[in-house]
Chains A and B, each alone.
Chain A
């Protein structure tokens, strides 16, 4: 019997996402992804100083904070042909690198874990067995029976109050939960540890960027955080040492907790390696440039899950459609526009709130539908890792092969809900290791007296051409992020952002092709339509960010 359900709000994500799904025979047969909030920042940017843009765009999102600053600044630098000093490149890599690692860990433990981990079941775990389990998968020091006993008592005391706060009304006891109580208890302990850990390691953002969320040291042409070994008010040896300590802390948690947990949980859910594949096209802009401009994660496009062919990425092939989004294009809503010519004219045609259903035959989301060469693309850690894997980046190949071997799964298992979640772990692992290299390079530059971190040649708008346009790219935690800017008379004439979650969360396009979330949900089993835990699993595997997607 067919049944329509709506999950609104999808929680444990950033922003306002609503999923409607048609269920038939215990499986999803059709799905619609909608964001229900809009701010209009692209419109707000018009007419402003292009050097200011990054402060505005950074506030697209406070979760993947920094990434839009990066993309905006690169867009302006591309338009004005500005080269940034090597120190600025390294500092940017470090800020992006730790953002990625921290964001992925938060996602895994605080946003995604409860889809797989039943907290209530952890109450009946045996702490001694839990300790054995933990020690068998990792040499992480916090794994004694006493430790797990303490955690369990704490959770018991909490549950004993009868007030579960953020954990009430959830899907506890759902038949789709498969972990034994001990694995659940271990995960709960690490949930709490990760909460502590994330606020510590992100202090790197405070050191290099003044604060987190929303670091404030980006500049068109470089960075505003000075480097000078002989100054108290700059990045000096003391701060390098401090950051090294934090980077090591970040890495050891990823190596000894995150990855082992991932590999310990995955075997219980191997069926999810065949669920949630989605559109099968992958796009990565590449990022983390070295001194010669070569990206550590390469650029590329994969279509139809074909890892044998990675195509070069051509920014000109990107368009956005609004056929099913609450906007109108001057030239007609069935025309796809390249972002340089993009328009953001709000045109809400949806139901008047309060409402029960969206009219999905018409426009039904605030997210636009980006397409590459007319195709929907999945972006994110999976796309990034696949492109790097296919390109033969040794660090990525090593990590992917290790994960696949441990799970006894073929490479094709990557095209799935589980694959997406595993690729995020690979991404975090590789970057957690890479960060220390970049920090050492920065220290090396400083040691050789190279202190430049801002190229001010084009700082004065009087030095700019009358008109210019640029494309700013970035591999954000959630994937390929692009900002396109047109500058005229020193002001922003047009600004368009096509964000990772825009790619993934977008609705159908003018040809009726589903977006990646929608496509990935097709075929997902739903044991109980009243408690659609499985929808959360696949949707969360993308790590949605809707404030990003719509902006």
Chain B
């Protein structure tokens, strides 16, 4: 009951609370959700009523399309964070189309989408999951190519949220050699207003927070150069990591299961990509804050970064492969080889030079 006593929460109008109660949402859960969302957005707590109102006023239509995806982001959404978030989102938004959960199928399903695009033109939120192949052959739904679908759906939306690394940056399908010419939403529909929520999958909390930000302020949150919201991608994992003190101390797990690993030492030497990954995993965590990769003893693989399948692998190494060498060879081995070769070469040169008769020597006599 603590939340209800905060002044900000108290100022949520009684009628709003009553309306939610009528829909079967406990007022306590509603206030908790609004407060948590406000916090997730790094907004001052005084804005809680405004967030509450935003949720109240607009049941914003959403069209969720899946293209070259694994449905992991839809599943992440189903695990949404706050106790009643899944229900609130179902009541807050109006999900006009989402293949994984919708009741209609076939042409009836396609009709739902077409109707929503027409009826809510320029007003709905498009959510895209999965990458888009350049060639229609590699992904069609209802006989239409993925590219045609995103052009239509994103082109007519108020804003598009690209969920997961595939939609945001091409993700897995775009990993080398990118057999299908997979693209991100931004590449596929260059003109659209897109916000990127990478991660593999997206963290459901970041998705709800982005939606609520949009509902509250009528615009998308501020982003970095890669189009990711700063509230979720403004800092490196490494700079918020609970194992950071072990990193600074020089306490590194040397092998999985060694005593250091069991005691929660830093995973840097086991390939952790926290130092090069901008994501709020350490603070936000997953599944209602239960855990996140480093907490469970496995390094970060950089799943919120563009091209991470290629640039962050091999995942159990700190650095990527040196181009042109086998996966066995590390940069240090190559460097050491180079230094040794130089030393040997010049050593030999030195011996040869010492042996040869120098012109200056003979001249001097």
Indicate whether A and B are direct neighbours in the complex (CB within 8 Å). yes
Asked if B345 is at the interface (CB within 8 A of a chain A CB), the reply is no
Q: What residues on A are CB-neighbors of B145 within 8 Å? A: 353-354
Is B255's CB under 8 angstroms from A207's CB?
no
Annotate A23-54 by CB proximity to B: 1 below 8 A, 0 otherwise. 00000000000001111110110001101100
Is B140's CB under 8 angstroms from A63's CB?
no
A346–B177 Cα distance when bound, in Å, is 13
Is A207's CB under 8 angstroms from B290's CB?
yes
Q: What residues on B are CB-neighbors of A289 within 8 Å? A: none
Q: What residues on A are CB-neighbors of B123 within 8 Å? A: none
Annotate B315-337 by CB proximity to A: 1 below 8 A, 0 otherwise. 11000000000111000000000
A219–B201 Cα distance when bound, in Å, is 20
Asked if A311 is at the interface (CB within 8 A of a chain B CB), the reply is no
Which of A14, A205, A228 has its CB near the most chain B CB atoms (within 10 A)?
Answer: A14
Asked if B288 is at the interface (CB within 8 A of a chain A CB), the reply is yes
The tally of CB-CB contacts under 8 A between chains A and B is 318
Annotate A3-26 by CB proximity to B: 1 below 8 A, 0 otherwise. 000111111111110000000000
Annotate B143-180 by CB proximity to A: 1 below 8 A, 0 otherwise. 11110100000000000000000000001110111111
Is B100's CB under 8 angstroms from A206's CB?
no
A505–B225 Cα distance when bound, in Å, is 42
A354–B86 Cα distance when bound, in Å, is 35
Is B143's CB under 8 angstroms from A356's CB?
yes
Given the known inter-chain contacts A63-B75, A210-B292, A462-B328, please indicate yes or no for A10 contacting B148, CB distance below 8 A. no
Asked if A312 is at the interface (CB within 8 A of a chain B CB), the reply is no
* Closest-CB distance, A438 to chain B (whole angstroms): 18
A11–B95 Cα distance when bound, in Å, is 14
Is A49's CB under 8 angstroms from B316's CB?
yes
Q: Pick from A166, A199, A211: contact of B78, CB below 8 A.
A: A199
Q: Pick from B24, B109, B264: contact of A231, CB below 8 A.
A: B264
Q: What residues on A are CB-neighbors of B305 within 8 Å? A: none
Given the known inter-chain contacts A11-B104, A52-B314, A231-B263, please indicate yes or no for A452 contacting B257, CB distance below 8 A. yes
Asked if A489 is at the interface (CB within 8 A of a chain B CB), the reply is yes
Given the known inter-chain contacts A10-B106, A49-B316, A456-B256, please indicate yes or no for A213 contacting B172, CB distance below 8 A. no
Told that A12-B101, A38-B138, A234-B262 touch, could you supply 7 new A-B pairs with CB distance under 8 A?
Answer: A8-B106, A37-B68, A106-B78, A157-B22, A166-B103, A211-B291, A233-B295
Which residues of B are interface residues toward A (Cβ below 8 A)?
22-24, 59, 66-76, 78-80, 86-87, 90-91, 93-106, 108-112, 135-146, 148, 171-173, 175-180, 182, 200-201, 255-257, 261-264, 285-288, 290-293, 295-298, 301, 309, 313-316, 326-328
Which residues of A are interface residues toward B (Cβ below 8 A)?
6-16, 36-41, 43-44, 48-49, 51-52, 55-56, 59-63, 65, 106, 110-111, 114, 119, 150-151, 153-154, 157-158, 161, 163, 165-171, 192, 195-196, 198-199, 202-203, 205-214, 216-217, 219, 221-222, 224-228, 231-234, 326, 346, 348, 350, 352-356, 451-454, 456, 459, 461-462, 489-491, 531-532, 536, 547
